[in-house]
Amino acid sequence: MLRNEKQMTQEQLAQVFNVSSRSVSRWETGSNLPDISLLVEIADFYDVDVREIIDGERKSEMMNNEVREVAEHMAAYAGKEKSKLLTFIQIVSIVGVVVLAASIAIQSVNFELNAASVATIVASIIGLIVMGVITLYVTGVLQKVARNKKGFFTTVIIVVCLLLGYALIRFFLICLAVGLLIFSVWVEKIEVHTDIENYDNYFNTPIESDGDYQIYHQLDEEMFRIYPETITPDMDPEDFMVVYYNPWDPQFVTDLVVDYTPDDYAAEIARLELIGVEEEYLDYYNVTGEPEGYDIIAMDADEYYGFVYAMIPEGAPADNTEITYVGIWFCNYFMDLDPGDYLPEEHILEGLDVSTNNPYALRRREELGIPSF
């Protein structure tokens, strides 16, 4: 009756008190009551006694000042407590949005294409959306948007477009990375070098150097400490080869056979025996033993990078002066090169398998959560 006297609809009245039209309808049907903080406001708006609002009927006399003052104090107290709680929730929700957004940004920078990373970033995005909706609700923005249906749908469309745009950017970056990988594999050529006069350039090139041989600086690292430091005039290299391929990461296959003088042979054997043999190599890449017909006297083996070893003929006579050096160096648990295409079969470790999906690589990828190719 009071609303009709003011010639207002439920929607118009709801906007005055910042509530929904459904709340106004429930007040008027008696199925619900306004918050205590609204009672005095409604009474003032209609210029009636608070008790009339509560009882839903006219009173013969107005509420006295004392009762009204108590109601106002109660309303102020309830509003103050509600405001404190709401402020706390607003701060927590805003901080949650910032933290989740930062988490997604960090994950995007360090993103790796595997099931765990994808699941984590998807869960973070869902969490950000949920926390964003909560933040909009507790700050009152969502209610304002909901009253304007056109604005609400516009907001939904914008949010959906942003999410789709983000997904498309991620998809584009992944496709770009794959495309670059395919392109690099297609344009990269396998280099095979047999020029022993450039031995020092291949095996003694520091990482900070410039020039055509800088790409071989990996051959100067600790794993190639087994190879001779240099080729001296007294040596008689019978065979030499460096194979280099870099479709995405550098890969090397190296082979050197040297026939020493007796004194140099004894000194080299002593040097190699100090390095020794890492027996762990039998656990890597399906290797089951030494190359047939040879005894390994020095071995550097790495579960990620591969093998470098020196060996002499098995059961070699006392006057033997020949030492064979072999390097199979790569990363990511596989090689695009097939060592068997470049090394004599008798120089390859027994059982060696460094193909793309070799059993050792599959096991290591599974342990690390890396998808197989």
* Backbone CA torsion sign across 210, 211, 216, 221: negative
Give dist(CA 1, CA 355) in Å, integer: 86
Residue extent(s) of CATH 1.10.260.40 domains in the chain = 2-63
Which one has a higher pLDDT value, 112 or 131?
Answer: 131
The whole model's pTM is what?
0.54
| pLDDT given for residue 153 in this prediction | 61
Tell me the per-residue pLDDT of 24-48, one tens digit each, with 9 for 90 and over. 888 888 888 887 778 888 888 888 8
Is 332 in contact with 358 (CB distance < 8 Å)? no
In which element (H, E) is residue 251 found?
strand 251-259
Q: At what angle do helices 21-29 and 10-17 cross, to 10 degrees?
A: 110
Encoding tokens for residue 349?
């470790």
Backbone angles phi, psi at 251, to 5 degrees: -135, 140
* Average pLDDT, rounded, for the chain: 82
CATH architecture of 2-63: Orthogonal Bundle (1.10)
Tell me the per-residue pLDDT of 183-239, one tens digit each, with 9 for 90 and over. 665 667 899 999 999 999 999 888 777 777 888 888 877 788 999 999 998 899 999
Secondary structure of residue 322 in the 3-state scheme: strand
Mean pLDDT of 44-56: 80
SS (HEC) of 97-151: HHHHHHHHHHHHHCCCCCHHHHHHHHHHHHHHHHHHHHHHHHCCHHHHHHHCHHH
Is 287 in contact with 281 (CB distance < 8 Å)? yes
- For 3, half-sphere exposure in the C-beta direction (CA atoms, 13 angstrom radius) is 17
Indicate the range of 44-58, 139-153, 208-222 predicted with least confidence.
139-153
CA-to-CA dists, residue 19 to 132, 146, 188, angstroms? 21, 11, 68
Is 301 in contact with 278 (CB distance < 8 Å)? yes
Tell me the per-residue pLDDT of 4-17, one tens digit each, with 9 for 90 and over. 888 888 888 888 88
